[in-house]
Amino acid sequence: MGWAGEKQFRWPPRQENELQLADWPLPYRRCYDVLLQTSVLVFDSLAQNYREKQLLLPEALKRYPGQAQEEMVTQAGSISQAQKAYFSASFMNIFNYDYGYLGPHKDRCLITTIRRLPFVKSELARDSEDVARKSFSASPTHTHRKRLWIWNDIAGVWKDIDAMLLEESSSLDLVLFVGEELESITQGWLPAVKHAVCEDPNLIEENQLGEGGCLSTALVLSSSDISEVVEKAR
């Protein structure tokens, strides 16, 4: 496919969002599986905890096939086929921030799981396999203009998450955000996170253009079943 060298902001492009997972290149499917598994395990832990505390919408997990209701999974930390089916509305995008940016926003999903991959232009992956492989092998050691920011409601400031990842010097860092649907089913106890990927979230749009120097994979965890519950609760 050679997507990373085609000067496109996102993969798949919006007009190809209906592309079936089975038709994705193998490295992309593997990347999706890793991020999906991480997202589901985090959701499972949070949802069960909030249900035990009676802070969850009563109908939110009525049909959720949690680990306790499933047959023994094949290995520790994996998720069941029923869970994969339950979250089949989830999707993944890969972004090349040399060709775009994301302004301040909240995701409508349950959880967004992001893997950031800074790079210098000479290291730009030439094919789809390199993009997916480097997504889980490269340490975030390069500086870049367009960074991942989250809004801190208490302090009233934007926090530079990429700077925090650099300080940790870890090649395995993932960033997980609460989305609006998880905020809804926890009745506000887990607020959705406003975030942006740009040079400065306080700047006007015209100042966000230009090379960004990083790739990013983002898995958006969604369930049509929970979406229905949220809509009915509004």
Query: Which of left, alpha, beta for 169 (phi over 0: left; psi -120 to 50: alpha)?
Result: left
Give the bridge partners for 203, in sequence order: none
| 86 vs 64: CA distance, rounded Å | 7
**Per-residue pLDDT at 217 exceeds 70:** yes
Instruction: Give exposure, 77-96, as e/b (b: 16+ Cβ within 10 Å).
Output: eebbeebeebbeebbbbbbb
Q: What is the pLDDT of residue 212?
A: 57
pTM (predicted TM-score) = 0.81
The angle formed by the CA atoms of residues 176, 150 and 190, to the nearest 5 degrees, is: 55
Lowest average pLDDT, out of 177-181, 189-193, 229-233, goes to: 229-233
Read off the pLDDT of residues 60-69 as tens digits, 9 standing for 90 and up.
888 888 754 4
| 131 vs 36: CA distance, rounded Å | 18
- Strands 10-11 and 91-96 turn out to be antiparallel
**Per-residue pLDDT at 2 exceeds 80:** no
Q: What is the pLDDT of residue 204?
A: 62
Q: What is the pLDDT of residue 12?
A: 84
| 93 vs 88: CA distance, rounded Å | 15
Cβ-contact 208, 199 below 8 angstroms: yes
**Per-residue pLDDT at 133 exceeds 60:** no
Q: What is the pLDDT of residue 48?
A: 85
Tally the domains of the chain.
1
Distance of CA 152 to the CA centre of its chain: 19
> If pLDDT is split at 50, 70 and 90, which confidence band does 132 have?
very low
Which range of residues forms the domain containing residue 86?
3-233
